[in-house]
């Protein structure tokens, strides 16, 4: 039995416990930095499989590692897992009708329940493979909370958690099966807190200094700023505190959160300083004071081409999830929930990926049943951001995508929540586990690949990882 056959058999033999863990974590639906039950569920599984578990990593209670080492412990392989949910996306499992399980509750609208359990299954498979073959190596499962919040991986990298790791693989639930060929944006976010003076807005407004006015003027300034930044940049905002609900009281406190994105972290830092200058101007205009509370920043993600070549071959060997007619019918029921505008966009995307002549075929059976080849010359910029980028600047890292939802599915929606606890996610996470495990096993046997992967990182980071957040910024466990 070769390595692929051994890994496939192991995952299939033990699949039930991994599927059950996905469904349990889906049910917990815990938000960023508060994934207590989810982390404990995964930690317990690792302990049961003989891993040494360390909790509270990088000063984050729900961050942990599970390590197994054999022989001289080389090479050191890492697999990333996530398990946080999103606010407001509660939804009944596997049902293509919008129906909350808990009014206003959270839901796994990005599929991190599957991400975490699929990655854990892969780590366990690698550990058992080492034991079966007697080969030397270390496999570490990195339990990474709060990807949907302020992130954790940049704090982990800054704390040296990835030091000494030779390479890292991870995956993300998706609508396609491929090595992810994207360059994600870097991002930086902060809370801008304005303080003023309260007063009666009717009789003595001249004695007041409105913090809410400062927030609004900051928004005006940033709207004008948008014309004068690079076209790839993004400036987002949300009011966190409007200073109260009484219009006849001048608001003496208010807070607005800003996040800025750009293709590279140096561009984000430059843009963020310009946003801070706008905030200072708003404070001057209103006679208030301003405090900038920097809370999050991710470095851009780029695929490691040396690892991508290995993973591309592994994905093709494992193949896509094996869908049934019932799976296709379920996927079609979710696809049919989207409005005509969204469906038109889905048709265009399907035409670009599969060919115009196959659009009707694909949309009638909307689950990806192919492996799409990785081409390093076709890496495209994606507007989103992920803290996986910081891992990639510290150690060779690669992200894979495996289908767990219908073709064209829109992430961060109730549809994604529903599909994340269905046979679609179950088959996707088990396929991802097989691919990740095979990637680790194949890479550990190729020192040349590991060397070239590390050379890529050294070119990218200049020889040393630099966290985009200063040491003074701690994980914002309750403030972001």
Residue 375 has pLDDT above 80, yes or no: yes
- Neighbour-count burial of 53, counting CB atoms closer than 10 A to its CB (0-12 exposed, 13-18 middle, 19+ buried): middle
Residue 147: both structure tokens together: 């990807």
341 in a structural domain: yes
pLDDT score, position 184: 97
Strand order in the sheet with 52-55: 52-55, 64-70, 137-143, 76-81, 167-174, 397-403, 178-179
How far apart (Å, rounded) are the C-alpha atoms in residues 304 and 319? 21
Asked whether 225 and 237 are in contact (CB, 8 A), the reply is no
Same domain, 334 and 411: yes
**Is residue 476 in some structural domain?**
no
| pLDDT value of position 428 | 98
What confidence category does residue 21 fall into, taking pLDDT thresholds of 50, 70 and 90?
very high
User: 206 and 155 in one domain?
Assistant: no
> For residue 480, is pLDDT > 90?
no
Q: In terms of Cα–Cα distance, which of 71, 105, 112 is closest to 88?
A: 105
**408: confidence class by pLDDT, cuts 50, 70, 90:** very high
Looking at the fold, whether 232 and 361 belong to one and the same domain comes out as no
The pLDDT value given to residue 396: 98
Are 385 and 431 in a shared domain? yes
Give the domain range for residue 160.
Answer: 3-184+300-461
Structure tokens, 340: 């005509």
User: Is the pLDDT score of 383 beyond 90?
Assistant: no
Q: Are residues 265 and 411 in the same domain?
A: no
Q: Does 106 fall in a domain?
A: yes
Out of 269, 296, 323, pick the residue that ends a domain.
Answer: 296
Query: Are 347 and 422 contained in the same domain?
Result: yes
Nearest to 408 by CA among 330, 337, 345: 345
End residue of a domain, out of 296, 325, 344? 296
DSSP string, 113-130: HHHHHHHHHHHHHHHHHH
Counting Cα atoms < 13 Å in the Cβ hemisphere of 423 gives: 12
- Environment class of 240 (CB within 10 Å of its CB; exposed 0-12, middle 13-18, buried 19+): middle
pTM exceeds 0.85: yes
Give the CATH number of the domain where residue 165 resides.
3.40.630.10
Mean pLDDT within 10-21: 98
Residue 478 lies in a domain: no
Which H helix or E strand runs over 293? strand 289-298
Where does the pLDDT of residue 164 fall: very low under 50, low under 70, confident under 90, or very high at 90 and above?
very high
Is the pLDDT confidence value at 170 over 90?
yes
pLDDT single digits (tens) 232-257: 999 999 999 999 999 999 999 999 99
pLDDT in tens, 253-303: 999 999 999 999 999 999 999 999 999 999 999 999 999 999 999 999 999
Residue 288, domain CATH: 3.30.70.360
Question: Would you list the DSSP string of 213-263?
Answer: HHHHHHHHHHHHHGGGS-TT-EEEEEEEE-S-S-TTB--SEEEEEEEEEES
Average pLDDT of the segment spanning 371-394 = 96
Residue partners of 460: CB distance under 8 A and separation at least 6:
302, 392, 393
Report yes or no on 208 lying in a domain. Answer: yes
Give 389: exposed, middle or buried? Use CB within 10 Å, 0-12, 13-18, 19+.
Answer: buried
Please check whether residues 168 and 26 belong to one and the same domain: yes
The reply to whether 449 falls in a domain is yes
Q: Counting runs of H as helices and runs of E as strands, what totals does the chain give?
A: 15, 13
Query: What is the pLDDT confidence band of residue 48, given thresholds at 50, 70 and 90?
Result: very high
pLDDT in tens, 432-475: 999 999 999 999 999 999 999 999 999 999 999 999 999 999 99
d(CA 166, CA 398): 12
Q: Cα(388)–Cα(299) distance, rounded to whole angstroms?
A: 8
SS3 label, residue 422:
coil
Looking at the fold, whether 334 and 253 belong to one and the same domain comes out as no
Q: Is the peptide bond before 376 cis (omega within 30 degrees of 0)?
A: no
Instruction: Please indicate, yes or no, whether residues 150 and 200 belong to a single structural domain of this protein.
Output: no
pLDDT of residue 1: 86
Inside any domain, residue 248:
yes
Is 343 in the same domain as 454? yes
| 8 A C-beta contact, residue 190 and residue 235 | no
Quick one: 66 and 80 in the same domain? yes
Kindly report, residue by residue over 50-105, the tens digit of the pLDDT. Answer: 999 999 999 999 999 999 999 999 999 999 999 999 999 999 999 999 999 999 99
> 275 and 267 in contact (C-beta within 8 Å)?
no
Residue 453 C-beta-side C-alpha neighbours within 13 Å: 27
Residue 85 carries which DSSP code? Answer: -
Within-domain flag for 231: yes
pLDDT in the model for residue 151: 97
Specify whether 36 is located in the same domain as 157: yes
Residue 479: band (very low, low, confident or very high) from pLDDT cuts 50, 70, 90: confident
Place of tokens 């680790």: 440
Q: How many domains does the chain have?
A: 2
């Amino acid at each position: 039995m070769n390595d692929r056959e051994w890994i496939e058999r192991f995952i299939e033999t033990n699949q039930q416990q991994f599927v059950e863990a996905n469904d349990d974590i889906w049910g917990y639906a815990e938000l960023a930095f508060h994934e207590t039950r989810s982390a404990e569920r995964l930690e317990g599984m690792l302990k049961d499989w003989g891993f040494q578990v360390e909790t509270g990593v990088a000063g984050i209670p729900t961050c942990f590692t599970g390590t197994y080492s054999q022989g001289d412990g080389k090479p050191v392989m890492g697999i990333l897992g996530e398990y946080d949910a999103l606010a407001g996306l509660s939804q009944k499992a596997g049902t293509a009708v919008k129906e909350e399980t808990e009014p206003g509750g959270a839901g796994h609208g990005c599929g991190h329940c599957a991400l975490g359990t699929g990655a854990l299954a892969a780590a366990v498979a690698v550990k058992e493979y080492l034991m079966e073959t007697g080969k030397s190596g270390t496999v570490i499962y990195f339990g990474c909370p709060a990807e949907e919040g302020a992130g954790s991986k940049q704090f982990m990298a800054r704390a040296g958690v990835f030091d000494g790791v030779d390479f890292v693989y991870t995956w993300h639930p998706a609508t396609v099966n491929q090595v992810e060929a994207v360059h994600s944006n870097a991002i930086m976010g902060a809370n801008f807190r304005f303080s003023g003076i309260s007063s009666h807005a009717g009789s003595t407004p001249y004695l007041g200094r409105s913090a809410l006015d400062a927030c609004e003027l900051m928004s005006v300034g940033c709207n004008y700023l948008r014309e004068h930044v690079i076209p790839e940049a993004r400036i987002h905002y949300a009011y966190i505190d409007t200073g109260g609900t009484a219009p006849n009281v001048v608001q003496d406190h208010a807070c607005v959160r800003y996040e800025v994105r750009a293709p590279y972290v140096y561009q984000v830092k430059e843009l963020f300083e310009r946003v801070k200058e706008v905030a200072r101007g708003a404070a001057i205009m209103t006679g208030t004071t301003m405090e900038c509370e920097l809370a999050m920043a991710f470095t851009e993600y780029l695929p490691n081409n040396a690892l991508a070549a290995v993973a591309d071959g592994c994905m093709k060997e494992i193949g896509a999830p094996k869908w049934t007619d019932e799976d296709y019918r379920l996927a079609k029921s979710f696809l049919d929930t989207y409005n005509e505008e969204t469906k038109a966009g889905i048709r265009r995307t399907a035409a670009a990926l599969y060919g115009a002549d196959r659009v009707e075929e694909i949309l009638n059976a909307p689950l990806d049943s192919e492996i799409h080849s990785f081409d390093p010359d076709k890496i495209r910029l994606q507007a989103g951001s992920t803290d996986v980028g910081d891992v990639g600047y510290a150690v060779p890292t690669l992200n894979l995508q495996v289908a767990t939802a219908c073709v064209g599915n829109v992430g961060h929606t109730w549809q994604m929540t529903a599909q994340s606890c269905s046979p679609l996610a179950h088959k996707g996470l088990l396929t991802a586990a097989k691919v990740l495990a095979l990637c680790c096993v194949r890479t550990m046997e190729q020192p040349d690949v590991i060397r070239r992967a590390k050379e890529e990182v050294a070119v990218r980071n200049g020889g040393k990882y630099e966290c985009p957040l200063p040491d003074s910024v701690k994980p914002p466990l309750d403030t972001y």
